[in-house]
Structure 1
Amino acid sequence: MTQPIHVDLPHNLGREEAQRRIAANIHKLQGYIPGGAEVTSAWSGSRLDMTVGAMGQSVDAKIDVEEKHVRCRIELPGMLGLFAKPIEAALKAKGSDLLLEDRTK
């Protein structure tokens, strides 16, 4: 059984710029996971389907990029569901910094 997390990250970038920034920053996820991780991702229009594999677990995420916000849905498997609230709080606090930071400057 999985535990879903839903987080909306507001922005004023417009869809195309937000999508460009997410694509430029997705590689940083590996550094936020202790012991490293394998991140696979694929875009379908303005939706990013992503899987993060680490420590024997696999977490699926869907990120929908919209004009004024980014909608994240993460499915935490098994025992990771116990950490849903702290993970959700971390995403709300740092998600915009991680995904929407402008790396061109």
Structure 2
Amino acid sequence: MSRPLVVSIPHRLGKDEAVRRLQAGLTRAARSVPVLSIDEERWEGDKMIFRVRALGQAAAGHVDVAEDHVRVEVVLPWLLQRFAEAAQAAIRSRGQRLLTKS
């Protein structure tokens, strides 16, 4: 099993507002990435468990929302490992957009 890809995104919204924004915008953000589809998105309080598919490969992970940051952890299959750096940058960029828009 490969090491998880971890991205931490700081915010100043507080936990409740960050969860609200992520719940409202995550599916919409994923739709803007043509090779990505969401197989599962399930919230348990301030934690989201997800499974996604990209280029025919499945990846799973979770998002933990804290008062001042969001931590995304995803385990990529070996075939997608070579795109880990690009995935990390995309996750950070889209997450920051969701957490900074008014």
Under a length normalisation based on structure 1, what TM-score does the superposition of the two structures give?
0.83
Q: Which runs of 5+ in 2 are unaligned?
A: none
Deviations 1:56-93 (A, max 9, x none): 21111210000000011011112101111221123233
**Once superposed, what is the RMSD of the aligned Cα atoms?**
1.9
Paired position in structure 2 for 1:64? 64
1:32 equivalent in alignment to 2:37: no
For the Cα contact (< 8 Å) 2:15–2:68, is it kept in 1? yes
Q: CA shift at 1:15, angstroms?
A: 0.1
After superposing on structure 2, the runs of 4+ consecutive aligned residues of structure 1 that deviate more than 4 Å are: none
Q: Which runs of 5+ in 1 are unaligned?
A: none
Paired position in structure 2 for 1:47? 47
Under a length normalisation based on structure 2, what TM-score does the superposition of the two structures give?
0.85
Q: CA shift at 1:45, angstroms?
A: 1.5
2:76 is paired with a residue of what secondary structure?
A: strand
Cα distance in 1 for residues equivalent to 2:92 and 2:32: 18
1:19 is paired with a residue of what secondary structure?
A: helix
1:68-79 pair list within 5 angstroms: 68-79=68-79
Identity of aligned residues (%): 34
1:100 equivalent in alignment to 2:66: no
Paired position in structure 2 for 1:15? 15
- Could you tell me which amino acid in structure 1 is paired with residue 86 of structure 2? P
Cα distance in 2 for residues equivalent to 1:85 and 1:55: 16
